[in-house]
């Protein structure tokens, strides 16, 4: 069977592209690290790919605001990206990539290209790097979390990870369409404040998707939990045969193949 092509977008400041490429290779895809200039010049065709990923990092140094410059640059390609999403192909934005999708107006889903949410500084006013407990919304129609256990853990690493919305209706729509995919929780699986919620995100949101479930933005880093040995407590967690993150990438690959 042909290996699906995962186009991993990179620009100045991207620093999680190699880990993301490795994750997709392990999941059975052909990973193509692609600089945005290759797409702008027409050398690489976005719509030729099977999966589109905007990985984590600090695109353009997070100058102005996290993800803002790259989001503005990609707005010239928004028609192709929307076509990509409407075709049912997987689109994934990780950390900085999540910020970009939100500031492009692609997430949360709306009928226009208007930005209706954003990210701001963590409530702690500092960079947070820790493992976070997460609860999957089992009612969400998200291809990336299909078949995963309800309670998972992934690492976070961000300074501007606090998810906020323009108006209460935006959150209401996210709830109504089951588009909130992951929430930060405590050991009991209940939403809780800092440090369980590392940034103060509204409704403890860690990941959202479009209603169709093929476009997801996620603040934690699944590419950093690919093998069980990545977990700091791996010697005691013998029930993990592989990293939860790898299962997310594999779900995207299987979706394309099927």
E strands of 84-219, at which residues? Answer: 91-94, 117-120, 128-136, 151-158, 162-165, 180-184, 205-209, 215-218
Q: Are 158 and 219 contacting, i.e. CB atoms less than 8 angstroms apart?
A: yes
Residues 219, 225: Cα–Cα separation, whole Å: 14
Q: How far apart are CA 210 and CA 201, in angstroms?
A: 18
Answer yes or no: are the C-beta atoms of 254 and 5 closer than 8 Å: no
**221, 230, 231, 255: which is the annotated catalytic residue?**
221
Q: Could you tell me which residues come within 8 angstroms of residue 192 by beta carbon, excluding any fewer than 6 positions away?
A: 184, 185, 186, 204
Radius of gyration of the chain, Cα coordinates, nearest whole angstrom: 17
95 catalytic, yes or no? yes
Residue 240 bears catalytic tag: no
Q: Is 132 exposed, middle or buried (0-12, 13-18, 19+ CB in 10 A)?
A: buried
**Tokens coding 15:** 């620093």
CA distance 150 to 138: 7
CA atoms of 140 and 126, how far apart (whole Å): 31
Catalytic residue among 16, 32, 95, 230: 95
The pair phi, psi for residue 253, each rounded to 5°, is -65, -45
Cα–Cα distance measured from residue 213 to residue 91, given in angstroms and rounded to the nearest whole number: 9
Catalytic residue among 32, 128, 160, 223: 223
Instruction: Give the residue numbers annotated as catalytic, written as ranges.
Output: 95, 221, 223
């Amino acid at each position: 069977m042909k290996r699906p092509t995962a186009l991993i977008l990179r620009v100045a400041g991207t620093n999680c592209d190699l880990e993301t490429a490795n994750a997709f290779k392990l999941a059975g895809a052909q990973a193509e690290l692609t600089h945005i200039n290759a797409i702008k010049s027409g050398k690489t065709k976005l719509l030729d790919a099977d999966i589109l990923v905007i990985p984590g990092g600090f695109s353009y140094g997070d100058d102005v605001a996290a993800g803002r410059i790259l989001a503005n640059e990609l707005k010239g390609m928004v028609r192709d990206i929307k076509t990509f999403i409407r075709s049912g192909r997987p689109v994934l934005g990780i950390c900085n990539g999540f910020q970009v999708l939100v500031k492009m107006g692609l997430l949360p889903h709306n009928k226009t290209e208007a930005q209706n949410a954003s990210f701001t500084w963590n409530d702690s006013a500092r960079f947070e790097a820790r493992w976070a407990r997460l609860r999957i919304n089992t009612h969400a129609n998200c291809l990336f979390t299909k078949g995963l256990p309800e309670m998972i853990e992934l690492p976070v690493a961000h300074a501007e990870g606090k998810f906020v919305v323009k108006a209460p209706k935006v959150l209401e729509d996210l709830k109504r369409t089951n588009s909130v995919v992951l929430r930060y929780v405590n050991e009991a699986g209940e939403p809780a404040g800092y440090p369980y919620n590392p940034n103060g995100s509204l409704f403890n949101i860690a990941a959202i998707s479009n209603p169709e479930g093929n476009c997801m933005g996620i603040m934690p880093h699944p590419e950093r939990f690919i093998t069980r040995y990545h977990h700091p407590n791996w010697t005691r967690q013998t029930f993990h045969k592989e990293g939860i993150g790898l299962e997310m990438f594999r779900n995207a690959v299987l979706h394309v193949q099927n």
